[in-house]
Amino acid sequence: MIDFTLNGEAVSLDVPPEMPLLWALRESAGLTGTKFSCGIGNCGACTVHLDGAAVRSCSVPVANVAGRAVITIEGLADGEALHPLQQAWIDHQVPQCGYCQPGMLMAISALLERRPDVTDEQVTESITNICRCGTYERIRSAVQSVVQKTDEDLDEENGNV
Ligand code: FES
Ligand code: FES
């Protein structure tokens, strides 16, 4: 049995320890919001949070999460209140087919936790998730609508520098 916290609830999954976390989430825990695509850690479709950091769950053996906290796309909202990025995704009509978007949201929400004032350039550098539909421009617009502006940013926007 592998015991860990999943979206705030204690869970105990009867799965082989070497099983990828992605399989355990989808097949054993029944949370299918996290997507399988490349299966080799390249595309980011399977991104979840492990102790607050973004990880690619196809490449993490489930044994590695024992005693730790996993958040999936199903746990990103705070009850009925969407995460600000989820609302921004709706406002900016980001998804096309939508397949990559749970992973995108998990990767970018982890980045925002570390860098609440993240810039466009930092998003481009840090987020290596692949979107075959090419929604990158709308992603950048949506992210910038929720970043916390520094006083310097606001001065620059207001022409005070
Ligand atoms: S499915 Fe995990 S990185 Fe592509
Ligand atoms: S929205 Fe289709 S792959 Fe990203």
pLDDT of residue 126: 95
Mutation test residue for ligand 2: of 104, 131, 136, 138, the one with most atoms within 8 Å of CB: 131
Mutation test residue for ligand 2: of 73, 135, 140, the one with most atoms within 8 Å of CB: 135
Per-residue pLDDT of the chain (161 residues; tens, 9 = 90+): 999 999 999 999 999 999 999 999 999 999 999 999 999 999 999 999 999 999 999 999 999 999 999 999 999 999 999 999 999 999 999 999 999 999 999 999 999 999 999 999 999 999 999 999 999 999 999 999 999 765 666 566 667 65
Give which of 126, 93, 125 is closest to 109, Cα–Cα. 126
Report the C-alpha gap between 47 and 35 in whole angstroms. Answer: 8
Question: Residues with Cβ within 6 A of ligand 2?
Answer: 95-101, 131-133, 135
CA 104 to ligand 2: nearest atom: 4
pLDDT of residue 125: 94
What's the CA dihedral at 96, 101, 102, 104 to 10 degrees?
Answer: -170
Helix or strand holding residue 55 (H, E):
strand 53-56
Domains (ranges, CATH) in the chain?
A: 2-75 (3.10.20.30), 84-148 (1.10.150.120)
pLDDT of residue 51: 98
pLDDT of residue 158: 67
CB atoms within 10 A of CB 86: 19
pLDDT of residue 148: 72
